[in-house]
Structure 1
Amino acid sequence: MIRSDATFAGTFAFAPHFTDAPGFRMHYADEGPRGGEVVLCLHGEPTWGYLFRHLIPALRETHRVVVPDHMGFGKSAAPPDRSYWLQDHIDNLERFVLALDLRDISLVMHDFGGPVGMGFAARHPDRIRRVISTNGPTPFGQADLLDRLMANARVSPWFQWIAEATEDGSLEPVLGHLGFNILSTLKLNGFENNALITETWLDAYGTPFRRPADCLGAIGWAKGFAAGAHRFETPGPAADRAIRSKPALAIWGEADRTLQAEHFLPLFSALFPTAPVKRLPGVGHYCLEDAPETVATLVSEFIRQT
C-alpha cells in the first residue's frame, strides 16, 4: 500500500481522503466543488487512481471528481480476510457511494472498473446520469456476454497468461511480486506510448505492490477469472430501461490487446445503440495513459454537450 501523502514527484498532488464504509480503509481523491455534478472514475487491473491524474484537472473546475482505489489497489487497504471477486468490488463501491451520498453520477470506467460500475448502476440506476467507457466493458445482462468473454480470452495475451499460470501454479507467485514486474504486466495488457516510462511512473504503478500481502487485489481479479468466481450483476427490467435511456459514450484505444474492440464494443452498442463510439487508432488498453489529452477532451465535451 502506498503512503497516504505520496504524490510521486507531484504527479498525483491530490489531497488523500479515506473512508471505512466498505469495511476496510478505502482511499479516494475528491476534487472540485462539493455541490458540482459528480464524475466517478473507476480504475481496473493493475492500476489505481493515478490512471486518472490527467482527467481530474480537466474536470475539477466545474465538477466534483471522485476517484476511489478499489480494495487491494493504490492507497486502499488489502485486507487478508476478504475475497476479491467482482461482486465484492461492486459491494464496496455501493457502500462507498451511499456513504458519500453521491448522485447525478457520470461514470468513467476503465478495464474492470466497467463491470464494477455497471454492477452499481444495475442496483442504483437513479444515481447515474451518464455512462462513459474508456476501454472498459459495459456488461448489463446481455445474452452474449459469456460468449464474448470467452472469444476475447482465446486471443488476449493477458487472459492466455492467466490460464497458463493457473495451470502451472505460477499465477500467485508472479502477481505476488507485481511491484518488481509491473512494467512487463502493464506492457502485456498494452500501452503504446513508451515515452511514459520514467522512474516516477514506474514507482507510481509499482509501489502499491511491493509485498505479496499488498498484491491480493491483483491476484484476486486474475484468479477470479481462472476460477469462474466473478459474478456479473443482472439488472432488473426497471434498471435496464433506466440505464438504456442515459447519455453514453465509448472511447476505445484500438490497439487494446487485452480487451479487444471487436468483442466488447458490441456490448456497449447493444446497450446504447445511438451513443457515440470514439475509436482511437494506435492507442492501447490504457487509453488514459496513451492519449490523456484526447480522452480528457472527449469526456469534457461529452459532459458539456449532454
Structure 2
Amino acid sequence: MDRFVDTFDGTYPYAPQFTEAAGFRMHYVDEGPRDGQVVLCLHGEPTWGFLFRQLIGALRGTYRVVVPDQMGFGRSDTPSSRNYWLQDHIDNLERFVLALDLRDITLVMHDFGGPVGMGLASRHPDRIRRIISVNGPTPFGQATLADRWRANAKVSPWFQWILSAEAEGRLDAVLSELGFNILSTLKLNGFEDNSLINDTWLRAYGSRFATPADCAGAIGWARGFAIDAHRFEVPDAATRRTIATKPALAIWGSADRTLHAQHLLPLFSELFPQAAIHKLAGVGHYSLEDAPEAIAARIGPFLEQT
C-alpha cells in the first residue's frame, strides 16, 4: 500500500498535510482545534510521526497537535541534494513553523528531536510556551554536551556501533537497508514491549526505507555524530535566560540504553532546575512505544496546570 495513504490498519488515521516551505515536500499531521494551544511533537532516529500516534489521540480534543516528519523520515521527501546535519533540520523546522505561523508552542521532543527543538527555541523563544523532553537531550552548544556525550557513548551500544561502523566503512551498508533491518535497529536503540511487534508495526517503521536512497536521513544523522558534523545551537545569554523561564517537564524511560539518563538528563536539569522529572522504570529509549498512556497521563496535567 502507498505509504502516503496507509493508515497502518487504522493505527495512524490522521489526514496527511504537506508543505514545501523548507524547500522539499514535508509531511505533517495537524489535528485538533485551529485556535488551540500548539503542541509540536518532534521525532528522532529512525522514527517519524507514527511514534506520537497515541499522544495525538490523547491531546487533540483540546490542543492543536502538529507533528512534522523531519527531512528524510516518515512521509517527508529525502532530497539527494541536501545535507542531513543538525543545523539543516533546525533550518527546516524554523521554516515550517514560520510558514504555519505557529505560536504559543509546547515542544514535545524525542531523541534528536531534542536538539532540533532546542534549536528552534534558541532562534524563536517568543514562540515557545513550554518545553517537554521525552528521552530527548536538550543541549545548547558543543561545550555543554561534549563530556556527557563521550561518557554516554562508552555505554551506548548504538553509539559504539556508529563510531566503529563509520571508521570501518560499514555504516552505509547497514543503515541503507533499514527497510529490512528496522527491527534490529529499533531494538538496539531500545524498546522493551515486544508485544508491539507485528506486521503492521514493522510496516509502519520499515516501509519508509524501501531503497538505499530512502535512507539518507537516517545515515546522515548517524554519520554526523561519528564525524562530529552536527552543530548545536548556541543562544545568547538573554535568550538562554528567557528559555529557562519556560515551564518545562522531562519524562525519561530509565531503561534507555541509547541516551542514558545519568549522562544526558542533567542537560535538562541544568537549564530547568525547578522542573519536574519523571523517570519511568522498565521503559526504554522509545518510551512513547513502551509507555504511551503513562506519558500522556503526565503531559496532560502539565499542560493544564501551566
1:294 aligned partner, one-letter code: A
The 3-state SS of whatever aligns with 2:132 is strand
Q: Report what 2:178 is aligned to.
A: 178
Q: Report what 2:4 is aligned to.
A: 4
Map Cα deviations across residues 65-108 of structure 1 (whole Å, 9 max, x no partner): 00000000000000000000000000000000000000000000
Task: Map 1:1-306 to 2 at 5 A.
Answer: 3-141=3-141, 143-306=143-306
**Contact 1:31–1:64 (CA under 8 A) maintained in structure 2:** yes
Separation of aligned partners in 1, 2:108 and 2:84: 21
Sequence identity, in percent? 71
Separation of aligned partners in 2, 1:30 and 1:110: 18
Count the aligned residue pairs. 306
The 3-state SS of whatever aligns with 1:181 is helix
The 3-state SS of whatever aligns with 1:41 is strand
Q: Which runs of 4+ in 1 moved over 2 A?
A: 140-144
Deviation (angstroms), 1:141: 4.1
Separation of aligned partners in 1, 2:226 and 2:143: 21
Map Cα deviations across residues 228-250 of structure 1 (whole Å, 9 max, x no partner): 10000001122101100000000
Separation of aligned partners in 1, 2:52 and 2:108: 10
2:59 aligned partner, one-letter code: L
Separation of aligned partners in 2, 1:2 and 1:19: 19
What TM-score, normalized by structure 1, do the two folds share?
Answer: 0.98
Separation of aligned partners in 2, 1:25 and 1:133: 27
**Contact 1:2–1:74 (CA under 8 A) maintained in structure 2:** no
The 3-state SS of whatever aligns with 1:7 is coil
**Contact 1:142–1:267 (CA under 8 A) maintained in structure 2:** no
Separation of aligned partners in 2, 1:45 and 1:57: 22
Separation of aligned partners in 1, 2:199 and 2:212: 22
Q: Unaligned 5+ residue runs, structure 2?
A: none
**Contact 2:177–2:212 (CA under 8 A) maintained in structure 1:** yes
Q: CA RMSD in A?
A: 1.1
Deviation (angstroms), 1:142: 7.9
Deviation (angstroms), 1:140: 2.3
